[in-house]
Amino acid sequence: MVCWQGPKRLRSCILPVSGKIYSMKLNCFHASVLAVFGAVLISGTAWAQNSGTVSDAFQTARQAVEPEVQTKVVSVYGIGTPSAITKWYIIFYDPTVASHGRAVLVENNQITKRYPANGGTTYSEALTFDPSRITSEGPALSAAQGYAARHDIPYDSVRILLKETALNKPFRWRVELLDIGQSKGFVYINALDDTVAAYSGPSSPTDTAAPHTAAGFGNQVKNTFLGIGGDLQEFFTGERTVDK
């Protein structure tokens, strides 16, 4: 520190100015720290919200299969919150494995697992779909939220499935609503226009329902979910007991 030994009157004038400059620098430093901290919070929040759409998951998962089957998806199954899916399980048609299905798990737009879906079924190429038909699951989740709100159905998480159940059948999302792990029912959303097609409660639909009714369609998809559950179990453990 350099002190100027001038008259006291001048020194008394310089010291307040010096203190003011120091105070201004300190305030600027605090403002800079807060700005940086705020930017970190904002970027962190944006990253958390940008978990990726089903289209992003498809683009990532296709790297795990051969080019000729990248547009042949058997099913897509997601787990997440009412407004965002955090895990995508995608099964591609792959005739090089016994079941003709190869499963790929995508989290945060990264492939974290892939494995032949060696389940109790053989997947049909006729029931595959081109993932370019679907760009986002967001509208389907929003439609399910709207339905739940109108009918006072509380839920805090979802399981969502998209699959061609049969030729010439409606192409629909099935959104299972869960609250603290307990199923609150299933909302069926038309995949091409995101309108609500039907709802079925958490109890299993009867086998006697006609296929074209909501209950009949629910029964078809129930069986599909059992198959997907078996695939997922085998995907991670090598065993299959869910749908046996």
Owning domain of residue 84: 54-237
The set of residues, in sequence order, having a beta carbon less than 8 Å from that of 126 and lying 6+ positions away, is 167
105 & 205 share domain: yes
The pTM of this model reads 0.66
96 & 188 share domain: yes
41 & 88 share domain: no
132 & 41 share domain: no
104 & 36 share domain: no
**At 28, phi and psi to the nearest 5?**
-65, -40
Which regions in the chain score pLDDT beneath 50?
A: 2-4, 7-18, 20-26, 28-50, 205-222, 224, 234-238, 243
Pairing status of strand 182-190 against strand 172-179: antiparallel
* Per-residue pLDDT tens over the stretch 71-86: 999 999 999 999 999 9
* Per-residue pLDDT tens over the stretch 36-57: 334 433 333 333 344 579 999 9
- CA dist., res. 46 & res. 141, Å (int): 19
